[in-house]
């Protein structure tokens, strides 16, 4: 088992004449968390869809655990957890029913895994509530639980903290930190680098579909000194940093 779990080389994607992504390359090791930033329309969601194997690039290559993914697409997809920005849950089902519905395990194994994930994310107390009755923050927590059912080696999260209150933010951050410590790689998009600093090991910034910045956390922090992480992201986007 190699330490590098993900590598992208020259990922590009077009929608008609619009270049959503242009020649994006980066790598990620087991247990690392990559913070992904950029303005709306920068290509973040498109990149996450491609990394999660929910969409295909027009050009470029994706390597997962050392092998190019197009050779074993279905098998690799099962090893990746995806938390999309939109809540992907059945509103009229309970939390537990949703988790059982999304589980790929048979019978008793599915129930045991649902109980385990529910305990980890503090969902047990609301397991019999319908999703329609939950707050936005709790729905995002259940959304994350769905992605964890298959014990993924890497998780892709698109704006997991959007519209989430402080209590749920803290809960999600705690779980993501525990997952990273156990070796689960993560790609997390967001708008606040300050908020995500405790989680991140690497930083990737997109602008107009291009990767304009990729660095480790130590380099990023040294460049953010005196101006703050969020301002540094803005400076990068506007081309005000080498």
pLDDT tens profile 181-192: 999 999 999 999
Give the pLDDT score at 15. Answer: 93
pLDDT reading at 213 higher than 90: yes
pLDDT reading at 1 higher than 70: no
Q: What is the DSSP string of 196-209?
A: HTTT-SEEEEEETT
Termini Cα distance of the chain: 36
Question: What angle, rounded to 10 degrees, do the helices at 229-237 and 217-224 form?
Answer: 90
Q: Which residues, including other chains, have CB under 8 Å from residue 187's CB and lie 6 or more apart? A: 28, 33, 34, 36, 48, 51, 154, 155, 156, 157
* Segments making up each domain of the chain, as ranges: 4-79+154-237, 90-151
Class of domain 4-79+154-237: alpha beta
Give the pLDDT score at 97. Answer: 95
Highest mean pLDDT (candidates 8-12, 64-68, 174-178, 238-242): 8-12
pTM of the model: 0.91
Q: Give the integer Cα–Cα distance in Å for 182 and 140.
A: 22
pLDDT tens profile 64-89: 999 999 877 888 998 999 998 888 89
Q: What's the pLDDT band for 2 if we cut at 50, 70, 90? A: low
Question: What letter would DSSP give residue 158?
Answer: S
Q: Give the integer Cα–Cα distance in Å for 73 and 125.
A: 37
Give the pLDDT score at 72. Answer: 79
Q: Which of 53, 131, 54, 63 is nearest to 92 (CA)?
A: 131
Mean pLDDT of 106-134: 92
187 phi and psi angles, rounded to 5 deg:
-120, 120
Q: Which residues, including other chains, have CB under 8 Å from residue 232's CB and lie 6 or more apart? A: 193, 220, 223, 224, 241
Q: What does the block give as tokens for 110? A: 């599915």
pLDDT reading at 4 higher than 90: yes
How crowded is residue 170: how many other Cβ atoms within 10 Å of its Cβ?
11
Sheet holding 185-189, edge to edge: 80-83, 154-157, 185-189, 33-37, 202-207, 210-216
Give the pLDDT score at 242. Answer: 53
Q: Which residues, including other chains, have CB under 8 Å from residue 176's CB and lie 6 or more apart? A: 33, 155, 157, 186, 188, 199
Give the pLDDT score at 71. Answer: 72
Rounded to 10 degrees, the C-alpha dihedral 172/173/177/179 comes to 20
Mean pLDDT of 103-126: 89
User: Which secondary-structure segment (H or E) carries 12?
Assistant: strand 4-15
Percentage of the chain with pLDDT > 70? Answer: 98
10 Å CB burial of residue 222 (0-12, 13-18, 19+) is: exposed
Give the pLDDT score at 163. Answer: 79
Q: Which of 20-29, 40-49, 98-107, 136-145 has the lowest mean pLDDT?
A: 98-107
How many residues belong to the chain? 242
Mean pLDDT of 101-124: 89
């Amino acid at each position: 088992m190699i330490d590098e779990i993900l590598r992208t080389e020259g990922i590009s994607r077009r929608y008609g004449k619009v270049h959503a992504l242009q020649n994006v390359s980066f790598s990620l090791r087991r247990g690392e968390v990559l913070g992904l930033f950029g303005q709306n329309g920068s290509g973040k969601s498109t990149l996450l869809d491609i990394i999660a194997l929910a969409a295909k690039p027009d050009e470029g290559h994706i390597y997962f655990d050392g092998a190019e993914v197009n050779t074993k697409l279905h098998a690799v997809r099962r090893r990746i957890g995806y938390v999309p920005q939109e809540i992907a849950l059945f509103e009229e089902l309970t939390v537990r029913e949703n988790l059982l519905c999304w589980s790929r395990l048979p019978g008793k194994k599915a129930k045991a895994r649902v109980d385990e994930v529910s305990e980890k994310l503090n969902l047990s107390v609301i397991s019999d509530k319908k999703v329609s009755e939950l707050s936005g923050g709790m729905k995002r927590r259940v959304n994350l639980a769905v992605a964890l059912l298959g014990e993924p080696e890497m998780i892709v999260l698109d704006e997991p903290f959007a519209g989430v209150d402080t209590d749920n933010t803290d809960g999600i951050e705690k779980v993501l930190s525990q997952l990273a410590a156990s070796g689960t790689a993560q790609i997390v998009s967001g708008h606040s680098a300050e908020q995500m600093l405790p989680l991140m090991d690497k930083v990737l910034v997109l602008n107009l579909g291009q990767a304009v910045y990729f660095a480790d956390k130590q380099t990023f922090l040294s460049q953010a000194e005196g101006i703050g992480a969020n301002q540094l992201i803005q400076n990068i986007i506007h081309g005000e940093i080498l």
